[in-house]
Amino acid sequence: MERIDPIAVSMTEAARLMSVSRPTIYAWSKTEGFPIIKINGCSRVLVDGLREWARWKAGVTGDNEQ
């Protein structure tokens, strides 16, 4: 079966992907630019947006990537 990469993940999964606690992900979700959406009242984090947000917070741009 073909593996399908998720577009959005739960807050718990986002915390796992970032190796941080759930309270940290929830705190980050309240900051400007954090890639969070609501689907039927449930918070979801956009995976590609999370990668971009993490690079932005770390001060990494496409020119600096190795």
Domain boundaries, given as residue ranges, for the chain: 10-58
The reported pLDDT for the residue numbered 60 is 74
pTM of the model: 0.82
Helices (H) and strands (E) in the chain, counts: 3, 3
- Average pLDDT, rounded, for the chain: 92
Q: How confident is the model at residue 66 (pLDDT cuts 50, 70, 90)?
A: very low
Burial degree of 21 (CB within 10 A; 0-12, 13-18, 19+): exposed
The reported pLDDT for the residue numbered 54 is 95
Instruction: List pLDDT tens digits, range 14-41.
Output: 999 999 999 999 999 999 999 999 999 9
